[in-house]
A and B are shown apart, each in its own frame.
Chain A
Amino acid sequence: MKEKQTCLQSASAQTATKRKNPLAQLIDRLYVLFDDKKVRYGVLAVAVVVLIYLPMKSSMYITEVMTTFWFHVVVCLGLNIIVGFAGLLSLGYAAFFAVGAYTTGIMILHYGISFWLTLPVSVLMAIIAGLAIGGPTLKLRSDYLAIVTLGFGEIIRLAARNLEITGRATGLVGIDRPTFFGIAMVRINHFYYAFLVLAIMAIFISYRLQDSRLGRAWKCIREDEDAAEAMGINVVAVRLLAFIIGSVFGALAGSFMAIKMTAISPESFLFTQSVMILLAVVLGGMGKIPGVILGAFAVVIFPEVFRGIGQYRMLIFGVVLLVLMIYRPQGLWPERHT
């Protein structure tokens, strides 16, 4: 059907009949194509091969940046479970990877425990942290939850800054790097592969969770808690699970970050970190896994590409972010495209 007359853009929402430009239409079509499982697996297979091959061909710098990207994929997918799937606004996600990083750091540095053995402890600590923050605050509405998570993030950071065991403001320095089946993990390539494996696992788990009973329950409580409750969904338990799983993702990423950096300090876990991760998730497309990955990519790559322009960099980042959000309010790769 042809449009006879331009509709005035006004008033009510649902009626917004925005005309899409051809580029946006093309992108949307590609997105729809990607939702087909076969296409998706095809693309992923090719991507995996390329990505495994990448560090052998590229410079150390590119590998370093890509490693940072994989790290962000893991944490963004972790936050996506909390924010995108379950609809709980969290402004203190950095606290979760602080928990992982410090757990690993302290165990290696103070007790000389092998890195691989610190991982289960890190997961355990993440579960405790998830329960600690999720437990008492489950009744809170989204924005109040946001401030509690923000406060929690600050509490964790300040505690790390003030406690002796976490090395106070200087942090933990000189964390030993582990060996993996006899190979000492020292080169950036090793970390590239470590984070790549972590990221692939995160993607896989995210997809599996999304298409499960639990994933659907999250969507329901995100939409309407009371109705979800009436459908027999244990809202409290399901929300708590979202917190715990998200926090485990973050903690594992944090543990690996600790050995990659060999030094961690409270300044790596600032509020701005949490906000950047949230930004990546929303910019990419909350709740949509490829969207979140795209968001992580944007957040990591942008500052690198514009490294040359010095102090204008973040200004331009802000402007680009604004323009993108205004033109694609649902994110770059939204959960639903109609």
Chain B
Amino acid sequence: MSLQEIVIQQLFNGLLLGSFYGLVALGYSMVYGIIRLLNFAHADIYMVGGFCSLSLLTFFGGTFLGKGWLGIIVSMLITMIVVGLLGVIIERVAYKPLREAPRLSLLITALGVSMVLYNSVMVITAGEYRAYGTGLGYDGFSIGSVFITHTQAILILAAVALMLVLHLFITRTMYGKAMRAISMDRDCCRLMGVNVNKIIALTFFVGSALAASAGMMAGVYYGSLHFYMGFTIGIKAFTAAVIGGIGIIPGAMLGGLLLGLLESFGTQIPLIGSAWKDVFSFTILIFILIFKPTGLLGKKESERM
């Protein structure tokens, strides 16, 4: 491969990885944006999304829908709804009672939810990997020795489309403003007629649905699922959300893409390589935060004396 081809291929790899990070980071960011919680359980929602969609796809595989794109799209929609509702239930059961508690307690509760989720899946799957069989092959197109499968191309488009829809929803409706306002002063929002519980529930629904969609895409793309699969991407997406400016929606996408690119080029660059690539990206993250303490798109915290 020529240098140019390597760059293009790595660019593409980074974008695809980055859009997964972005999708998961969105959920972190939204939840943080509204109740200032670093939702550790979010990564497990991603994992549950993967498994949920696998069951559905296995089921639909037997019907006329098949395991091709049609079956995948239907499974994805149902997964997003089911897992979105799971997110809402988790919020009701585990987070709502602690809304006024210290924030770190909420963080630990989220950790508890995370443990419950992944250990449940571990028990159910006996800790084994599950193959994610789809009807998609490895067909693709190549430009020189740059090779991109159709699946990859479609997934990246889907991820970007989902992010755009979310962005429009948040900027074009009162919902987005209410979300931000709730994070600043919940009681005062109530006095404006905002149904705070409903908006929080909606946030969890949307965030979880997005994570679930990412979980399914990961299954389709990587071909296998594991109860622990959320862990690493969880940390990465969390990092991405912070790089972009946590609580800021476009920031999460930007952070995700940036992190994806850092990792893929980090792997390729000789002195860094796969061994040091995470050190490389975390170092850049720390530098970003030192020079821009609220993340790339974050605004300066403004409070007067």
Question: Which residues of A are interface residues toward B (Cβ below 8 A)?
Answer: 11-14, 16, 83, 89, 136-137, 139-141, 143-144, 146-148, 150-152, 154-155, 158-159, 161-162, 226, 271, 275, 278-279, 282-283, 286, 311-312, 314-315, 317-319, 321-322, 325-326, 329-331
Q: Cα distance A12–B191 when bound, in Å?
A: 12
Instruction: Indicate whether A278 sits within 8 Å of B242 (C-beta atoms), given known contacts A137-B290, A311-B122, A322-B113.
Output: no
Chain B minimum-CB-distance residue to A227: B305
What chain B residues lie within 8 Å of A279 (beta carbons)? 108, 111
Partner of A83, one of B104, B190, B289: B104
A147–B109 touching, CB < 8 Å: no
CB distance from B199 to the nearest CB of A (A): 15
A–B Cβ pairs within 8 angstroms, 10 of them: A12-B187, A83-B104, A141-B294, A148-B289, A155-B283, A161-B275, A162-B275, A271-B235, A325-B108, A329-B105
B238 adjacent to chain A (CB < 8 Å) = yes
Q: With A and B bound together, what is the CA distance between A208 and B295 in angstroms? A: 38
With both beta carbons as reference points, the residue of chain A lying nearest to B232 in the complex is identified as: A271
- Contacts of B206-240 to chain A: CB distance below 8 A: 235, 238-239
In the bound complex, what is the Cα–Cα distance between A150 and B241 (angstroms)?
Answer: 14
Residue contact B276 to A158, C-beta cutoff 8 Å: yes
**Are the C-beta atoms of B242 and A315 separated by less than 8 Å?**
no
Complex contact B115–A314 (CB within 8 A): yes
Q: Is residue B112 contacting chain A, with contact meaning CB distance below 8 A?
A: yes
The answer to whether the Cβ of B98 comes within 8 Å of any Cβ in the partner chain is yes
Are A144 and B294 closer than 8 Å at their CB atoms?
Answer: yes
Chain B residues, CB < 8 A from A314? 115, 119, 122
B131 within 8 A of A: no
Chain A residues within 8 Å of B289, by CB: 137, 140, 144, 147-148
Closest to B243 in A: A147
Other than A144-B293, A150-B235, A279-B111, give 20 A-B pairs with Cβ distance below 8 A. A139-B293, A141-B301, A143-B242, A144-B289, A151-B282, A151-B285, A154-B278, A154-B279, A155-B282, A226-B303, A226-B305, A271-B235, A278-B104, A311-B119, A312-B123, A319-B112, A322-B94, A322-B116, A326-B97, A329-B106
B: contact size bracket: 35 or more
In the bound complex, what is the Cα–Cα distance between A266 and B285 (angstroms)?
Answer: 22
Tell me whether chain B's interface is mostly helix, strand or loop, or mixed: helix
CB neighbours of A137 from chain B (8 A) = 286, 289-290
A239 to chain B, nearest CB (A): 14
CA distance A128 to B119 in the complex (A): 38
For the complex of A and B, 7 pairs with smallest distance between CB atoms = A318-B115, A13-B100, A329-B101, A315-B119, A151-B282, A321-B112, A318-B116
Provide the residues of chain A in CB contact with B187, threshold 8 Å. Answer: 11-12
Q: Hey, which chain B residues are within 8 Å of A143, CB to CB?
A: 32, 36, 38, 242, 246
A12 CA to B196 CA, complexed, in Å: 12
| Chain A CB within 8 A of B120 CB | yes
A328 to chain B, nearest CB (A): 9
- Distance, CA A335 to CA B269, complexed state (A): 50
Smallest distance from the beta carbon of A24 to chain B beta carbons, Å?
15
Contacts of A326 in B (CB 8 A): 94, 97-98, 109
* CB proximity of A165 to chain B, nearest CB, Å: 15
CB distance from B8 to the nearest CB of A (A): 28
Inter-chain contacts of A319 with B (CB < 8 A): 112, 116
- Give the residue of A89, A147, A271, A322 whose beta carbon is less than 8 angstroms from that of B104: A89
A321 touching B115 in the complex, CB below 8 Å, given contacts A11-B187, A143-B32:
yes
Indicate whether B150 reaches chain A with its CB closer than 8 angstroms.
Answer: no
Chain B contacts for A226, CB-based, 8 A: 303, 305
